[in-house]
């Protein structure tokens, strides 16, 4: 029996290609993993009547660790995101998105080392929405007005932003525990509490209360989200661990990915009490499907996070060193990195050739 069994969800779009590259790189380290491959997304809709079949969730529950490629969320079909549904089904309340500089990516900075801790279950992503024109939407508008909470135009659609003490407390605590476990010195709580008094204001109150428990061990500060974005672009070295509610976390983590070379290299993890699902920040990039062009670095660095989580430090370090060496050397890189570095995609290699170059460093 293998030492670890991991659920592998290849996803769609560029997902199958980049997960294939990732799997080959991981296997080449010699780590003992058995993959349980299960499919999710639009392609299984016809067969199972849902894009996220129960056996996929069960597989992750059983193995407690999964790694996935991106899954497309068709716009305007009533088909909710598989990624959001999976996070919700397994209560994966942490979305961990490290952004660190790697030489050779052509990024504008070379000294970024930040970790975004994004709340993953509530806020505007809770999926509590009221469609424009529906009876219940008009009732909600009347309820709001009857309670003196303001006025809303009758032709509005409404998305609610619930932020709870429970959700805020566990994510902020996770950020502090992560800082302690990874020798990080500061946690910045990001919010818009000056405007959103009862949602972000509550989040900030809870953050301050939790931070007090870590006083003297981890530094704490809070910042408004807009000022955070400017600060990150001007002085990313001022930041260490950032903890954010769901929507700001989503946006700021793409910004952070941009600081270190783009979505093609940004890894991520969704972590709960009983399971962890590792996935890159980027989506399925449909226009590159099947072209052997996509950059698998984000998926491969996502596997590094997974191996660290599994306690396989040696394999994780080996892969990270391999990625660093191939990117620094600069000749066997995918089109996106090539373009950033030279202004042209000429001389770029494909997804699998790049993975082979990493394997060749082992
Ligand atoms: P995207 O991340 O797929 O693409 C954004 C841009 O980044 C595109 O120009 C794309 O070509 C480029 N890009 C992304 N990944 C790349 C890679 N590995 N190598 C090279 N270039 C890369 O974002 P999108 O276009 O907004 O979304 C496409 C689909 O993916 C949507 O259906 C969306 O819902 C879904 N999505 C899924 C996830 C997930 O599975 N967790 C996350 C985000 C988006």
CA distances from 355 to 187, 228, 350 (A): 35, 35, 9
DSSP strand pairing (269-271 vs 94-100): antiparallel
pLDDT surpasses 70 at 36: yes
User: Catalytic amino acids?
Assistant: 125, 192, 226, 250
What are the counts of helices (DSSP H) followed by strands (DSSP E) for the chain? 13, 12
Model confidence pLDDT, tens digit, residues 269-312? 999 999 999 999 999 999 999 999 999 999 999 999 999 999 99
Kindly give the number of the ligand 1 atom that is closest to the alpha carbon of 81: 34
Residue 213 pLDDT greater than 80, yes or no: yes
pLDDT in tens, 147-173: 999 999 999 999 999 999 999 999 999
State the CB neighbour count (10 A cutoff) for residue 140: 16
Tell me the CA–centroid distance for residue 285 and ligand 1, in Å. 4
Residue 178 confidence (pLDDT) above 90: yes
Q: What is the pLDDT of residue 79?
A: 67
* Mutation pick for ligand 1 pocket among 19, 284, 355 (CB with most ligand atoms within 8 Å): 284
Whole-model pTM: value is: 0.91
Band (pLDDT 50/70/90 cuts) for residue 267 is very high
**Ligand 1 pocket, Cβ-based, cut-off 6 angstroms:** 14, 18, 70-73, 83, 263-264, 279, 282-285, 288, 294-295, 298, 336
What is the position in ligand 1's atom list of the atom closest to the CA of 72? 32
Average pLDDT of the chain to the nearest whole number: 95
Cα 340 to Cα 354: distance, rounded to the nearest angstrom: 16
Q: Which of 97, 283, 298, 340 to mutate to test the pocket of ligand 1 (most atoms within 8 A of CB)?
A: 283
Residue 223: the pLDDT is: 98
pLDDT at 160: 97
The C-alpha angle with vertex 38 and arms to 35 and 40, in degrees rounded to 5, equals: 145
């Amino acid at each position: 029996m293998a030492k670890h069994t991991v659920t592998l969800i290849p996803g769609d779009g560029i997902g199958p290609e980049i997960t294939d590259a990732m799997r080959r790189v991981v296997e080449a380290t010699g780590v003992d993993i058995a993959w349980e491959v299960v499919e999710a997304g639009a392609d299984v809709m016809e067969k199972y009547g849902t894009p996220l079949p129960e056996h996929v969730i069960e597989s992750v529950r059983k193995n407690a660790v999964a790694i996935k490629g991106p899954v497309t969320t068709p716009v305007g079909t009533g088909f909710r995101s598989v990624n959001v549904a999976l996070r919700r089904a397994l209560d994966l309340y942490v979305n961990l998105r490290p952004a660190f500089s790697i030489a050779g990516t052509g990024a504008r900075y070379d000294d970024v080392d930040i970790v975004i801790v994004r709340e993953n279950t509530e806020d505007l992503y809770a999926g509590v929405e009221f469609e424009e024109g529906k009876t219940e939407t008009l009732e909600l508008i009347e309820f709001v007005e009857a309670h003196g909470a303001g006025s809303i135009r009758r032709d509005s659609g409404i998305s609610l932003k619930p932020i709870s003490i429970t959700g805020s407390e566990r994510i902020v605590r996770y950020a502090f525990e992560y800082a302690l476990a990874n020798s990080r010195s500061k946690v910045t709580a990001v919010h818009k509490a000056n405007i959103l008094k009862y949602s972000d204001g509550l989040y900030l109150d809870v953050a301050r209360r939790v931070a007090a428990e870590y006083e003297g061990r981890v530094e704490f500060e809070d910042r408004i989200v807009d000022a955070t974005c400017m600060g990150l672009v001007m002085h990313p070295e001022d930041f260490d661990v950032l903890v954010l509610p769901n929507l700001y976390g989503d946006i700021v983590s793409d910004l952070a990915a941009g600081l270190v070379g783009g979505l093609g290299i940004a890894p991520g993890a969704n972590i709960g009490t009983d399971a962890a699902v590792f996935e890159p920040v980027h989506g399925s990039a449909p226009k590159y499907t099947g072209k052997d062009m996509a950059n698998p670095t984000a998926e491969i660095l996502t596997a590094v996070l997974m191996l660290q989580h599994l306690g396989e430090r040696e394999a994780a370090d080996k892969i990270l060193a391999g990625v660093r060496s191939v990117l620094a050397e600069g000749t066997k890189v995918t089109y996106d990195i090539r373009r950033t570095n030279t202004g042209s995609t000429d001389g770029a290699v494909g997804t699998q050739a790049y993975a082979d170059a990493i394997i060749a460093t082992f």
